[in-house]
Amino acid sequence: MSQHDPDALRAPTIDAKGRRRWIYPDRRSGPKSRRRGLVASLLLVLYLLAPFLSIQGMPLIRFAVLEGIIYVFGQSFRFADGSYVVFVLLTAALTLGFVTSIWGRVWCAYGCPQTVFVEWVIRPIEELVEGPAHKRRRQDAGRWNLSLLGRKVLKHLLFILVIWGVSNAFLAYFIDPKTLWHWVQSSPSQHPWAFGFMVFCFLALFFDLVWFREQFCSFLCPYARFQSLMMGFTTPTITYDKQRGEPRGKRSKTGDCIDCGLCIRVCPTGIDIRDGLQLECIQCGRCADACDTVMSTLKRKSGLIRYTSEANISGAKVRKFRLRPAVYLVLVLINLGLLSYNVGTREALKVTITRQPGSTYTQMGPHEIANYFALRVVNQQHTAQNFTLRLVPGVRVICSICGRTIEANEELRGNLVVIIDKRLIGNEVILRRDASEEEYKLPLLAP
């Protein structure tokens, strides 16, 4: 599409009248497609198996909402540990920026769940049931018959079966698999909220993967819109070599591009890569694989569409050191260092002591007063821990959970009464936990 065309800014999934235009991408084999297929297969297997794997008796990854615990690679975190979430999200965002500045939109091509499920689950089912892209395009444009209706019904039944499995696998990231299996076998009325959550996930995935599809990349994906901030003149991406390809034509005196349109027909988002980088481009490399087959047939050099940067296309000199990726990398390492330090130095037992609401103090005799506190102890380790307090002279405590063994990831709540000699009120009263240097300063009330 020419840049002077008044419709140049229109999304490829929308026609001139503003209606949805379905994309029927041809599937052509090639090195980039095979590599993406291998990565997608590994990701799908990991997605289905991850909630059922464990490390040292703990889930590999699970957001256990019923327990209020997040399990990640053998570590457990309470929902209250919000500071770790900040580091994780910031590190993920900076890592995405670093990867994009170095290799372009490889996330969209290889790792995005939208791409993986649509390209390697949904569309293969369509091709299996209804045939290749050109056949589906012709059938949908013509009149319906019983044969086509039967194939459509079969296709959607397979969609329902697959997406139902995907939705239940997603629920396993939040619920223990044994509990989930029991719920699956039980009546939905026995666990309405879990069934409702699964149905919501199913409907959202069905709408997105079966109907919305590539429109997500065109209209909803935020990454597509701020990718230009991460990419530069030297960032490699799928690029059409205009210097070599133009002017287009089938004669030998023109450029190498014969204007066959195959690069458009194979594109899963329906764009023309020859118009330059566009936000809908997911850098899948389908157009490059297809173009290479044409160049090979014509006995011409491959790489008319290839993975390279604008700087290399124009022949500009590129410095080995690039500031943008370096800044991203430094920030990623700083965040990872801070996250690792916070996780590595956290106490085995997380103890929280707060004054009981509405309480003051009680006179216990001529020289002693009592203060009342609520005690919360969380075991953040994989092994059981004993909780006892070491007291300073002149202080006595009544503790409902002291001396008890706290199992791994267990949380105990109890009451703590601190009885202290009034003559010590002017001094700082500190409790210490046995087998630890952790100190707890108590806000005491006194006459």
Residue at 8 is within a domain: no
- Half-sphere exposure (Cβ direction) of 313: Cα atoms closer than 13 Å: 22
Regarding whether 186 and 240 lie in a shared domain, the answer is no
Do 166 and 61 share a domain, yes or no?
yes
In the structure, what pLDDT confidence band is assigned to residue 313 with cuts at 50, 70 and 90? confident
* Alpha helix stretches (DSSP H) within 27-81: 31-49
Who's near 389: CB < 8 A, 6+ residues apart? 397, 399, 402, 431, 432, 433, 434
Strand partners, 411: 378
Q: Say if 281 falls within a structural domain.
A: yes
For residues 246 and 131, membership in a common domain is answered with no
Q: Is the pLDDT of residue 166 over 90?
A: yes
Asked whether residue 389 falls in the same domain as residue 273, the answer is no
Clarify whether residues 147 and 203 are in a common domain. yes
More confident: 328 or 432: 328
Q: Are residues 260 and 357 in the same domain?
A: no
Distance, in Å, from the CA atom of 447 to the CA atom of 168, rounded to the nearest integer, reads: 60
Are residues 46 and 191 located together in one domain of the fold? yes
Does residue 74 lie in a domain region? yes
> What's the whole-number mean pLDDT along residues 375-393?
83
Indicate if 193 and 117 belong to the same structural domain. yes
Q: Looking at the domain assignment, is residue 89 inside a domain?
A: no
Residue 6, pLDDT score: 55
Domains in the chain, number: 3
For residue 162, the enclosing domain spans: 31-80+112-213
Domain assignment of residue 14, yes or no:
no
End-to-end CA distance of the chain: 84
Query: Quick one: 46 and 182 in the same domain?
Result: yes
| 277 within some domain | yes
The mean of the pLDDT values for the chain is: 88
User: Is 179 among the domain residues?
Assistant: yes
Predicted TM-score (pTM) of the model is 0.84
